[in-house]
Amino acid sequence: MLSRAARPALRAGSVATFRPATAAVPAFQNANYATLREIEGRLKSIKNIQKITKTMKIVASTKLSKAQRAMTESRSYGKTSNAVFDEAETKPVESENKKVLLVICSSDKGLCGGVHSGLSRAARRMMNEEPADYDVVVIGDKSKAQISRSNPKDIVLSFNSIGKDVPSFADAQAIADQISLLPGDYAQTKIMYNQFDNAQSYHPVTLEAYDEESITQSPNFTAFEIDDEVLANMREYSLANSLYWALAEGHAVEISARRNAMDNATKNAGEMIDKFTILYNRTRQAVITGELVEIITGATASEDM
């Protein structure tokens, strides 16, 4: 639909760009100079773009090591925090009428490949394949825009201005607080984020956080001797821990994806620059040859006279 609509416009556009050249046929030399100038302009703009992508790549590379360090730290932190639930074999309580809270950890900034859209797609797929009453909390503007197009009714909260720097635990705590202030009673809280496999690949995964009922009903819960009073604290704290883990890992994935995307962009720009330089030189040579031919013809013609 879009391509069909775009095509006439494109054709009109290409006609419009060709028109000056065809109109300038009488002044043949001028037309050649114009295309030469056009190629030069394009070459220049591509070079500028390459400079920008190169700089962004360097920035992302320097940020990457910091982000990865934060990620490994937060991962061990989150795993330790969730070890309690693993040992207690906590499972979400099965009930029909309770809601599921889905927290999507993306960020505000783009230009990093398919990080955000992959996350949104995974969220949508989950909502389709495991139908339940979902409420969605979106962290980051990019996924917010995408989810608000497909499931605007499900969104209850959105956070932004994240992803400027490595996420701090204070961020995670504040988000966890705001989430725990939500009026709904959620049987399950699923935190969705991009897991870091290696520098090249990542995939969206979910992390579970539990409500108090699920924790108390887990099989090995008594082994830990947790008082009822501190149970709510533990739940809030573990939610913040999990969120911190998800945010830090998602951030590392984003930075590494941005590095890769900018690396590719720089390479592509380099290819285009090569192509255009050859074209530019050829055209320039053609113009010079043409001029020479004209001069020589003129000279020989006047000699004969």
Q: Which residues bind other proteins (CB under 8 A)?
A: 148, 152-153, 155-162, 164, 168-171, 173-178, 180-181, 229, 232-233, 236-237, 240
Q: Give me the least distance between CB of 248 and other proteins, in Å please.
A: 13
Dist. CA 273–CA 163, nearest whole Å: 33
Residue 80, Cβ neighbours under 10 Å: how many? 10
φ and ψ of 139, to 5 deg: -110, 115
Q: Give me the least distance between CB of 95 and other proteins, in Å please.
A: 25
Q: Looking at beta carbons only, is 86 or 177 nearer to other proteins?
A: 177
Q: Give me the least distance between CB of 130 and other proteins, in Å please.
A: 22
Q: Give me the least distance between CB of 93 and other proteins, in Å please.
A: 22
Cα distances (Å, whole numbers) of residue 138 to 42, 118, 146, 147, 194 = 40, 14, 10, 8, 14
Residue type, 75: R
Q: Looking at beta carbons only, is 172 or 253 nearer to other proteins?
A: 172
Dist. CA 298–CA 79, nearest whole Å: 85
Judged on CB neighbours under 10 Å (0-12, 13-18, 19+), 257 is: buried
Q: Looking at beta carbons only, is 99 or 284 nearer to other proteins?
A: 99
Q: Give me the least distance between CB of 134 and other proteins, in Å please.
A: 13
Q: Looking at beta carbons only, is 148 or 216 nearer to other proteins?
A: 148
Kindly give the pairing relationship between strand 134-139 and strand 186-196.
unpaired
Q: Looking at beta carbons only, is 112 or 176 nearer to other proteins?
A: 176
Q: Looking at beta carbons only, is 34 or 174 nearer to other proteins?
A: 174
Q: Give me the least distance between CB of 85 and other proteins, in Å please.
A: 17
Dist. CA 120–CA 242, nearest whole Å: 19
Dist. CA 53–CA 49, nearest whole Å: 6
Dist. CA 104–CA 146, nearest whole Å: 11
Q: Looking at beta carbons only, is 39 or 139 nearer to other proteins?
A: 139
CB-based contact 96:77 (threshold 8 Å): no
Q: Give me the least distance between CB of 215 and other proteins, in Å please.
A: 14
Nearest to 122 by CA among 246, 245, 205: 205
